[in-house]
Amino acid sequence: MKIVNLKVATRLGIGFAIVLALSSISIGTGIWNMRQIAAATQQMMETPLAKERMASDWYALIVTAVVRTSFIVKSTDETLAKTFADDISASVKTAAEIQNSLDPLLTSDAEKEVIKVIKASRGKYQQAKEAAMKAKQEGKTEDALRIYDSEFMPNAKIYQGKVMEFLSLQRKGIDLTGLEIARLHSSGFNLMLLLGVSMLALGAVFAFLISRSITRPLAEAIKVAQTVAAGDLATRIEVKSKDETGQLMHALKAMNDSLVGIVGEVRQGTDTIASASSQIAAGNMDLSSRTEGQASSLEETAAAMEQLTSTVQQNADNAHQAN
C-alpha cells in the first residue's frame, strides 16, 4: 500500500509511533545500561573492594608488627615485650579474623594459591617472632638478634610480600571492574547517542515525507481551484491518491465536470434563444412589410373613394343643374 493512499491521521500516527518506539528503545537501553553499571559497581563494592580493604588492613598490621618486634628485640629495655603484649595479642587476633573472613570470599585459583602461601609463611613468621621474643625475655639478646635476622625478617618479608601480592590481585580486579564499568558506560553512551541521532534523523525524514505527502496535493488542489475560479474549465484534473487530499481533488474534478455541463447547457440555451430571436426578428420584418403594403393599399383605396366621391358629387351637381 502506498503512503499517499493512507489517511492523514494514519500517516501522522505511524510517524509518531516510530518516533515513540525509538524513544522507548533509547530509554530502555539507557535503563538497561545503568542497571549493568549499578550491578558491576555493586559487585565491586561487595567482593573485590571488601577483600582489598581487608588485605590493606592486614598488610598494615604486618608492617606494625614487624616494626614493633624490631623495637622489642633491638631495644635494651627488656620490659617492652610486656608493654606491647596486649597490642601483639590484638594484632594476632585481628590478622586471624581477617584471614578467616577472606577464605569464603576467594574466587580465583590465583587468590587461593596466594592465600595458601600466606598461611604457610604466616606460621613460620609467628614461630620466628615468638622465638625471638622469648629469647629476648630470657635475656638472650644475641640469640634474639640471630633469630630476628636469620628467621624472623626473611619470613616477615615473604609474609609481607605475599599479602602485598594478594592486595595487588584485589586492586587489579578492582581496576578491571572499573574498566568494565567504563566500557559499559562508553558503550551505553555510544548506543544512546546512536539511537538519539537515528531518532532525530528518522523523525526528520518522516516529518518531511508526511508533510510533503500532505502539502503537495493541497497545493495542487489550490491551483485547480484558482484555475476554476479564473474561468478555465478545460484543465484536466487527475486524482492520484485515496486520502483526504485525493477526496478533495475528486470533489474538485466533479465540481469542474458539473460546471462544464452547466456551461454547456447554458450555451446551448443561449444559442436556442439567439436562433428564436432571429426568427422573431425576421417575422417582425415580414409583418412590418406586409403592414406597409396594406397601408399603401388603404391609401390607394381611400384616394379612389375620394375620387369616386368627387365624381358622384360632380354628377349630382350636373344633375341638379340639368333640372
CA distances from residue 92 to 88, 111, 265, 298, 321 in whole angstroms, order as listed: 6, 22, 120, 166, 198
Q: Mind listing the pLDDT tens digit for each residue in 245-299?
A: 667 767 777 776 777 778 777 778 787 887 777 778 777 777 677 777 776 777 7
User: Do residues 92 and 126 make contact, with C-beta atoms less than 8 angstroms apart?
Assistant: yes
Q: CB neighbours (10 Å) of residue 5?
A: 12
Residue 51 and residue 166: Cα distance in Å, rounded?
A: 9
Which band of pLDDT confidence, cut at 50, 70 and 90, is reported for residue 241?
Answer: low
Phi, psi of 321 (to 5 degrees): -70, -35
Lowest mean pLDDT among 9-23, 32-46, 86-100, 135-149: 32-46
Q: Which residue has the cell 616477615?
A: 156
DSSP 3: G
CA 69 to chain centre: 67
Between 212 and 110, whose confidence is greater? Answer: 110
18's grid cell: 516510530
Q: Mind listing the pLDDT tens digit for each residue in 9-19?
A: 776 777 778 77
Which band of pLDDT confidence, cut at 50, 70 and 90, is reported for residue 219?
Answer: confident
3-209 placed in CATH 1.20.120.1730: yes
Is the predicted pLDDT of residue 1 greater than 60, yes or no? no
Is the predicted pLDDT of residue 118 greater than 80, yes or no? yes
User: Measuring CA to CA, which residue among 231, 238, 266, 262 is closest to residue 252?
Assistant: 238
Burial class (CB in 10 A: 0-12, 13-18, 19+), 23: middle
What's the half-sphere exposure (Cβ side, CA atoms, 13 Å) at 322? 6
pLDDT for 4: 59
pLDDT for 59: 92
Residue 230 corresponds to which amino acid? A
pLDDT for 153: 92
Residue 51 and residue 49: Cα distance in Å, rounded?
A: 5
83's grid cell: 608493654
Q: What residue segments make up the domains of the chain, in order of their start?
A: 3-209
Residue 95 and residue 230: Cα distance in Å, rounded?
A: 102
The angle, 0 to 180 degrees and rounded to 10, between the axes of the packed helices 153-229 and 244-322 is: 10
Distance spanning both ends of the chain, measured CA to CA: 126
Residue 286 corresponds to which amino acid? D
Average pLDDT over every residue of 127-156: 89
Q: Mind listing the pLDDT tens digit for each residue in 247-261?
A: 776 777 777 677 777
Residue 110 corresponds to which amino acid? A
258's grid cell: 458539473
CA dihedral of 188, 194, 197, 198, whole degrees rounded to 10:
-120
Q: Give the chain's mean pLDDT.
A: 80
59's grid cell: 598488610
Q: Mind listing the pLDDT tens digit for each residue in 169-205?
A: 888 888 888 888 888 888 878 887 887 888 788 878 8
Is the predicted pLDDT of residue 23 greater than 70, yes or no? yes
Q: What is the largest CA-CA distance in the chain?
A: 223
